[in-house]
Amino acid sequence: MLKILKYYKPYLGSIALVVVLLFIQANAELALPDYMSKIVDIGILKGGEGQGQTAYILKMGLIMLGLTFLAVAMTVAVGYLGARTASGVARDLRRAVFRQVQSFSSTEMDKFSTASLITRSTNDITHIQMVSNMAMRMLFFAPIIGIGGVIRATAKASSMWWIIALAVGVLLSIIIAVFVLATPRFKRIQSMVDKLNLVLRENLTGMMVIRAFASEKREEARFEKVNSELTGTLLSVTRLMALLIPVITLIMNGISILIIWVGAKEIARAQIQVGDMMAFMQYSMQIFHSFMMMSMMFIVIPRASISADRIHQVLATDPSVVDPQTPVSLPEPCKGLVHFNNVSFRYPGSNEDVLHQIEFTAKPGQVTAIIGTTGAGKSTLISLVPRFYDVTGGSVSIDGVDVRSLSQKALREQIGFVPQKASLFSGSVESNLLYAKENASTQDMEEALAIAQAKDFVQALPEGFAAPVAQGGGNLSGGQRQRLTIARALIKRSPIFIFDDSFSALDFTTDKKLRRALAESLAESTVILVTQRVAAIKGADQIIVLDEGRMVGKGKHAELMETSDVYRDIALSQLSQEELL
């Protein structure tokens, strides 16, 4: 919890007011046993009979009633302020985590799984919110009422101080034992929640695959295993907690009997009065209740502390891709000349490069195609242009300017990027197209859809541009999702376009029409195209052949058929000799 204390700073005023209100509430509650003692000792035992006795009892009773109302009012105010403060802290933490994740590069996203980030942003922050609310009401109140109860109890019957010391010692021992036993279990619970979310997410996103392979039973068993592990750990913690309250209650009742037994002897020896013994007992109960509140906090604080650590891990992770302190600007207008200068790259923590000394230039008005075997590093290579990763050797430049010297926003404004996996957002067709350019006109959208060969199917939808799009485009076919993703990138009219195997879900006829339209509309742009289809890049101005992270060929189709064994093997595996001519 200490690692995220700075997020409580804006609420210090509310917290200070809560402490004041709790102090008033505690003093009001601590005064009640004293007035009860006066009613018993003075109003009943010494007050005699008549109106004087009744008036005294009524007077004390009204004072006690007033103190009770004051305590209730303070409780309500503290509850309101506590809930408001806890909700505000949770809101600020969610905002901070979201902003931090937005700044992460692919390196950090690889480090934290999506399921874990979702758990940290929801489940973990909810625990912190709950504990913050409880702490506002209990963590400050318990010490005040506990210390005040000890002082007042010993003042009423100093000879019985050892009873409170005995009770406090036993209670502390139990709380510490529970704390030691519960903390490691809470750590396991959070990691198990991450794992459960991961299994759920994989099942929901891969439902079609699971059904296609009739693997429902296997997935049910997999889910049941994770679910049972989480349930077992939660039950072990719950049993521990369930045991705590009865044990404390048993101790409280035992102490009450001990107070009556010892107090009766003290009364018989005229050491204390009956009212003092009753007040001592009530103060003892207040002390025990304060320890129960503290024990509740000790139960929830370990889990919240673990949640705070997990959130701090996200917030303390520095993005590996950051803007330079003094970013430079690209020449205007940006031509889009992309140069890979002796580029090497390795993933963080790896001992070997996955890309080795890649060097080529993608020129405006030309199509540069990248092809290679699976795992050759094609997608990794093009991810270096928009700085999803930063090179570990060499440089990538645009119009002679190293991309690392540009701000990420300025760099990515010059790039129209179509990822390998078509990604759409919940909303409408129009909202997804406007995601690339908020002020795009209807004509801009229609032109982009026409080039992407998506205009016909969008117009065929009953709602047209207003047609709903489910999360991830789940209500569209794979080809429709790809075409909408391509149209979204085309709206930007950027000087550089990167297509990462973005035509794999298209039939050959649509693919051919789309490439012809792209060649016409992007005639002045730099086009970098990753593909697995040799037929699609036969007419490319430049083909880069990758094999195991190394560039093993560069040139046009006919030239590579003569000079590159890797390219020739890929081509012959897809097309006949006649088709390759």
Is 113 part of a structural domain of the chain? yes
Residue 435 and residue 429 in contact, taking contact as beta carbons nearer than 8 Å: no
Tell me: do 287 and 425 sit in the same domain.
Answer: no
Residue 355 and residue 377 in contact, taking contact as beta carbons nearer than 8 Å: yes
Q: Is the per-residue pLDDT at 577 higher than 60?
A: no
- Which strand (E) or helix (H) includes residue 417? strand 415-418
Is 322 part of a structural domain of the chain? no
What is the structure's pLDDT at 362?
92
Tell me: do 155 and 278 sit in the same domain.
Answer: yes
- Which strand (E) or helix (H) includes residue 193? helix 161-205
Tell me: do 449 and 475 sit in the same domain.
Answer: yes
Which two tokens mark 484?
A: 């909408």
Tell me: do 363 and 507 sit in the same domain.
Answer: yes
pLDDT digits (tens, 9 = 90+) for 165-178: 888 888 778 877 87
Average pLDDT over residues 236-256: 80
Domain that holds residue 347: 331-414+494-581
Query: What is residue 462's three-state secondary structure?
Result: coil
Share of residues in the chain with pLDDT > 90 (%):
16
Tell me: do 521 and 547 sit in the same domain.
Answer: yes
Residue 115 and residue 194 in contact, taking contact as beta carbons nearer than 8 Å: yes
User: Cβ atoms within 10 A of the Cβ of 446, count?
Assistant: 16
Look up the CATH number of the domain holding residue 534. 3.40.50.300
Give φ, ψ of 437 to 5 degrees: -150, 105
Structural domains of the chain, count: 3
Interhelix angle 508-521/478-490, nearest 10 degrees: 0
User: Can you give the pTM of this predicted structure?
Assistant: 0.74
Is 277 part of a structural domain of the chain? yes
Tell me: do 153 and 232 sit in the same domain.
Answer: yes
pLDDT tier for residue 1 given thresholds of 50, 70 and 90: low
Residue 288 and residue 172 in contact, taking contact as beta carbons nearer than 8 Å: no
Average pLDDT over residues 451-479: 84
What does the DSSP 8-state code read for residue 230?
Answer: H
Q: Which residues is 355 bridged to in the sheet?
A: 345
What is the structure's pLDDT at 91?
93
Tell me: do 270 and 377 sit in the same domain.
Answer: no
Question: Mean pLDDT, the chain, as a whole number?
Answer: 84
pLDDT tier for residue 45 given thresholds of 50, 70 and 90: low
| Closest by CA position to 496, among listed 379, 406, 413, 377 | 413
Tell me: do 15 and 155 sit in the same domain.
Answer: yes
Last residue of a domain, one of 459, 490, 521: 490
Residue 227 and residue 139 in contact, taking contact as beta carbons nearer than 8 Å: no
Tell me: do 375 and 514 sit in the same domain.
Answer: yes
Q: Which of 21-30, 49-58, 181-190 has the lowest mean pLDDT?
A: 49-58
User: How far is 572 from 581, CA to CA, in rounded Å?
Assistant: 11
Average pLDDT over residues 521-526: 88
Query: What is residue 509's three-state secondary structure?
Result: helix
User: How far is 76 from 435, CA to CA, in rounded Å?
Assistant: 46
Which two tokens mark 458?
A: 């969008």
Q: Is the per-residue pLDDT at 397 higher than 90?
A: yes
pLDDT tier for residue 51 given thresholds of 50, 70 and 90: low
Tell me: do 278 and 341 sit in the same domain.
Answer: no
Residue 497 and residue 526 in contact, taking contact as beta carbons nearer than 8 Å: yes
Tell me: do 10 and 104 sit in the same domain.
Answer: yes
Query: What is residue 399's three-state secondary structure?
Result: coil
Is 215 part of a structural domain of the chain? yes
Look up the CATH number of the domain holding residue 117. 1.20.1560.10
Average pLDDT over residues 99-120: 82
Which whole-number Å values give the CA distances from 457 to 422, 462, 486, in the listed order? 17, 10, 14
- Which strand (E) or helix (H) includes residue 445? helix 442-451
Tell me: do 507 and 581 sit in the same domain.
Answer: yes
User: Cβ atoms within 10 A of the Cβ of 272, count?
Assistant: 21
Share of residues in the chain with pLDDT > 70 (%):
96
Last residue of a domain, one of 490, 505, 525: 490
> CB neighbours of 283 closer than 8 A, spacing ≥ 6?
30, 33, 149, 150, 152, 153, 156
pLDDT tier for residue 580 given thresholds of 50, 70 and 90: low
pLDDT digits (tens, 9 = 90+) for 439-454: 888 888 888 888 888 8
